[in-house]
Chain A
């Protein structure tokens, strides 16, 4: 074994065989390549040995996609350089290595010598995730409400296939027909959970930052009022020529109380004042554009919120990057805190893994979807919380399982609810992936699973990459 690049697995690498889901795996060896060249050299050796490879980045996954079930584990977090930047006719492209974390990306964008300030719209709230991880799951951020699907913000990718071939995938260049679906080849790889090849470079499409931005948090004493407010946002979007709502997030009372309970452990929430326990739900919005347009939009939202029972004197309103960052940190604290609780419970009961939905219901009303969840959660024993994106009704329901019996019951519940969700018109694997944690819950006929089986036969028929994910 090449001691410089490939290391035998031992206790010192224990943290690498687990991710935020608490799913734990195993591997025979591990590597930390720092460039495409190193990746290829390591892969060449592993291919000779017939050793399958699991790829991971920031270990922030919540479905075990980057957790190995044997074979070799390749952690690409050290592969994190910015390779090039180009600007042509208003197209701003940045090519980076897959291990670049989102926090680092933001710092790099601030250093660019561009006439305008730029940002990358996907911006998932998990800022320690890597760009490669975002590509592997097609994770969306709170900006998806206005900026749309994550995949469109990848312009190209360089991918290494199982046979060692390096492919350049450029948007719009090559298409596949997969089970009747006409797919851009680049999009086939995005969201593929590392099952088709490893990204060695990704070209991101950047866009100019809005001139001004506000963050507003409305509080509701009755969650049904919040649902009504969300319905109106969907049926009557607030936008003008100079400003629009770019993010709309729902946070239920259980999520709020969870954060309040664990606030002392989360020092980055030090600037957020306590939230009155009388509140049963919160809706967080961001408005971007010109100041006058933002104020008009805020006025409309304030009126609507008042009609839905929210007191505008108690609504938070901030502007400026740092202040908005503080509220986004609050929003991200929800999954972070949930993961803390799961980790705690997992220590006492190793069978426990994260159980959460990742379902979107395009075309439905928000209150319809929340009532649907209410119906299917009736009688479910563990406590739960629901938070997420109002756009496409893409919320996450998290169950706080306490022991092995509840884990088993909730796993069965998940299998059932995913099928019910498909019947109700939902997309059941939206941004977290399926990985190893959810694969047994997914019906074989799910579109994402069926698509991946076909793609796997094309690009990795021998199962070299990330075995155990999805199926």
Chain B
């Protein structure tokens, strides 16, 4: 089995600063670290490999220093690492990021399973995983709190929602975004950390992708611009909607419209 794990480098602390013109989060001068949720995704992959033979490939999209993310992935047990880096990719929103990941993962072959962390600590959208699954046209489940069984054809998972816990079986290939607490990441092993510095990382730039149209990537490929970053008001009420995909999309659109128009 081949498993792709998406891992991002994020600032160690958030100051909520953004470029007023482009809406891009300003990261210069901030210490970077691996997005903690993505460490859980890698942990999930490692646990799967403990039960069935699998190859784990880590993918990280970012500037050249994001290679550190892949070194961390190696020191935890990833078999290969891909650094998706190109000036054309910078400033990407969910749409452009997910599309870039899709095209980049494509260059490395086919994967039975793609794992993502629940969200990132900088963008916090928790939407890239779902968008990525859409590009691949594969089923996906978010907030996976347990992976019960993996076979050649399917994966059985647990998903915790607000009021209930669900058990689902998804056919492979599929994408899972995993919860953090249930997949507490292991600490890197000494032997693997020593070897990590010597492992090669595959670079993936715009010219390596099957679609080289720059307007599909980065700031130009983004459908959204960040207007403002601020902490959300605390609310106790967390309504849960259920329905068809079309019904849910209408409900979300309505909720966003209400929020914008007040």
Contacts and interface: CB of A to CB of B under 8 A. Distances in A.
Q: Do A and B come from one complex?
A: yes
Interface of A: 214, 216-218, 270-273, 291, 295, 298-299, 302, 312-322
A321 B190 contact: no
A321 B191 contact: no
B194 interface: yes
Contact of A316 (B31, B184, B188): B188
Interface string B175-207: 000000000111111111110010000000000
Given A313-B189, A318-B188, 19 more contacts: A214-B193, A216-B190, A270-B184, A271-B36, A273-B185, A295-B194, A298-B193, A299-B194, A312-B190, A312-B191, A313-B191, A315-B190, A315-B191, A316-B188, A316-B189, A316-B190, A317-B190, A317-B194, A319-B193
A271 B33 CA distance: 14
Contact of A317 (B31, B185, B188): B188
Contacts of B33: 320, 322
A19 to B, nearest CB: 33
A295 B184 contact: no
A273 B189 contact: no
A317 B189 contact: yes
Nearest to B187: A316
Contact of A302 (B186, B187, B190): B190
A298 B194 contact: yes
A296 to B, nearest CB: 10
Contacts of B25: none
A317 B184 contact: no
B39 to A, nearest CB: 9
A270 B40 CA distance: 13
Contacts of A299: 194
B75 interface: yes
B12 interface: yes
Contacts of A272: 187
B193 A317 contact: yes
Nearest to B186: A273
B194 A271 contact: no
17 contacts: A217-B187, A271-B184, A272-B187, A273-B185, A273-B186, A295-B194, A298-B194, A299-B194, A312-B190, A312-B191, A314-B189, A316-B187, A317-B188, A317-B194, A319-B193, A320-B33, A321-B31
Contacts of A314: 189
Contacts of A318: 187-188
Contacts of A273: 184-187
B129 to A, nearest CB: 22
Contacts of A315: 189-191
A317 B31 CA distance: 20
Contacts of A317: 75, 187-190, 193-194
A295 B31 CA distance: 23
A300 B11 CA distance: 33
A272 B185 CA distance: 8
Nearest to B32: A320
A319 B36 CA distance: 15
Nearest to A216: B190
A74 B31 CA distance: 40
Nearest to B196: A317
B106 to A, nearest CB: 32
Interface in B1-30: 12
A316 B187 CA distance: 6
Nearest to A326: B187
Closest 9 CB pairs between A and B?
Answer: A315-B190, A317-B190, A316-B187, A317-B193, A312-B191, A312-B190, A313-B189, A273-B186, A317-B188
B191 A295 contact: no
Contacts of A270: 184
Contacts of B191: 302, 312-313, 315
Contacts of B12: 322
Contacts of B187: 217, 272-273, 316-318
Contacts of A313: 189-192
A321 B30 CA distance: 13
A229 B190 CA distance: 16
B184 A312 contact: no
Contacts of B192: 313
Contacts of A291: 197
Contacts of B193: 214, 298, 317, 319
Nearest to A314: B189
Nearest to B43: A273
Nearest to B13: A322
A321 B191 CA distance: 20
Contacts of B186: 273
Interface in B219-260: none
B203 to A, nearest CB: 21
A273 B194 CA distance: 20
B241 to A, nearest CB: 31
B175 to A, nearest CB: 25
Given A317-B75, A322-B33, A302 B189 contact: no
B179 to A, nearest CB: 14
A217 to B, nearest CB: 8
B145 to A, nearest CB: 16
B197 A295 contact: yes
B192 to A, nearest CB: 8
A322 B13 CA distance: 11
A256 to B, nearest CB: 15
Given A302-B194, A322-B12, A312 B31 contact: no
B184 to A, nearest CB: 6
A270 B12 CA distance: 17
Which of B33, B186, B190 has the most chain A CB atoms closer than 10 A to its own CB? B190
